[in-house]
Amino acid sequence: MSFDLYLYCKKIIRKKKIDKVLKDLGFKFIKEGLYSWFVKKNLTSFKGCRLSYNKADHDYYVPRGTKIIFTSTTSAARSHEDFEMQIKVIKTLKKEFGGSAYDPQEGRYAYPINTIPKLSYREKLCGMSFLNFIDNIHTAHSLSSKIPKKGKMRKSEYLYRYSSNTSILINNLVIVYLVAIFEAFLKDFFIKYVETSQKAKEKIYQRTNKLEFKEIKDLLEGSISLTQFLTSKYTFQNLNSANAAYYDYVDVKLLDIWNRRKKYKNKFFIVREVLEELIQKRHEIVHEYKLDYMMNKQKLDFFIIMMDKAADLFDNYFLNKRKIRLNLEIFV
C-alpha cells in the first residue's frame, strides 16, 4: 500500500524556491506540482519517492491558514532509503518554509519512524527477482477464464462443442505462462545469488578448469559472463536440473524445499508433485500440441495457488536458513 506524509504550509511560496530545495535533494521535475526521487545505483530505491504540492482547498482537516499542502508518497515494497527520503523531504521543506508535518496513517502531527530494514545488496538484488516472480503469479490470476459447465452433456459431446472455446485456449496458454515465469525466476535468482556470493564464485572456478577452446574464447572476449556460461549447463525448466544447479552452487536442495504437503480446499498436495505435473502439461501443450480441454478456471486456479505456495516455501527457506529477506512486499 502507499504511504503519505503531509506538510501544511501557511506561506505562499514561489515555485523557483521549491524547485531549488527539491533539486538539492535529488528530485527531478515530472510535471507542474509533481517531482520524483529514484536512485538506481546499488538498488538504493525499490519504488522511489514522489513529492507533490497544491494550493489548499480548506477542507475540514486542513489547519486554518494553510496556503500550500506538500505531500510525499512512497509505494508498497519501498526500500529503507525510499522511506528515509520521504521523511527527509518533508523535514527539509518544513525547515525552509515552516508549517506542520502530518502523518495521516497515525492521524497525528509527527514524523513516522523508519522501521524498514536496511537490506544488503544481495537481499535487494534477490528480493527484486522474487518480487517480480510474485507479481507475475498475480498476473496469472487475472488471466484465468471461466468456461461453460458440462451440465448433462457427455464428455465427448462437451469436447466437441467447446474444443474451440477461447477460454479453454487462454487457460492452456496460462499454463505455458506459469512454467515460463517459474523457469525465468529460478534462473534469474540463481544468477543474482551466485554473482553476489564469493563462495559460489570459488566453486565455479574450481569446476571450470576443463573448458573447450571456444568456451574459453567466449569468456575472455566477454561475449558471455562466467555466470551466464554456468547457467547454460542447466535447464531451469526441469526440476532435477534446477535442483542440481542450486545444490552445486547455492547449497540448496530445491526438491527438499518443495517436498512439502500444502492444503488446498480441504485436501493436501505435495508441492513438488504439482510443479512436476504443471511442467508436464506445458510440455504436452507446446511440444505435442495437446490442449487440456477440461482446463477450467477452478483447475487452473489450483495450479496458480500451488505456484504461490511454492514461492512462499522458497521465501521461508531463505529467510529462516540464510537470513535473506526476499518478500519485499511485507515492508510497510
CATH (domain of 83):
3.30.1400.10
Residue 232 lies in a domain: yes
Distance CA 303, CA 257 (A): 18
**Are 153 and 246 within one domain?**
yes
- 84-140 pLDDT, tens digit per residue, is 999 999 999 999 999 999 999 898 999 999 999 888 899 999 999 999 999 999 999
pLDDT of residue 219 exceeding 80, the answer is no
Residue 99 burial (C-beta neighbours within 10 Å; 0-12, 13-18, 19+) = buried
Residue 109 lies in a domain: no
DSSP string covering 200-240: HHHHHHHH-SS--HHHHHHHHHTSS-HHHHHHTTS-TTSHH
**Are 296 and 199 within one domain?**
yes
Residue 255 burial (C-beta neighbours within 10 Å; 0-12, 13-18, 19+) = middle
Domain membership of residue 135 as a residue range: 121-330
**Are 65 and 125 within one domain?**
no
- 281-320 pLDDT, tens digit per residue, is 999 999 988 888 888 888 999 999 999 999 999 999 999 9
**Are 92 and 135 within one domain?**
no
DSSP state of 152: T
Structural domains counted in the chain: 2
- 238-286 pLDDT, tens digit per residue, is 999 999 999 989 999 999 999 999 999 999 999 999 999 999 999 999 9
- According to the model, what pLDDT value does residue 60 have? 62
Give alpha helix (H) positions in the chain. Answer: 15-24, 80-97, 121-143, 155-162, 166-195, 198-207, 213-221, 226-231, 239-249, 254-258, 271-287, 297-321
Spacing of C-alpha 308 from chain mean position: 12
**Are 92 and 134 within one domain?**
no
Q: How far apart are the first and last CA of the chain?
A: 7
- According to the model, what pLDDT value does residue 332 have? 45
Residue 113 lies in a domain: no
**Are 177 and 79 within one domain?**
no
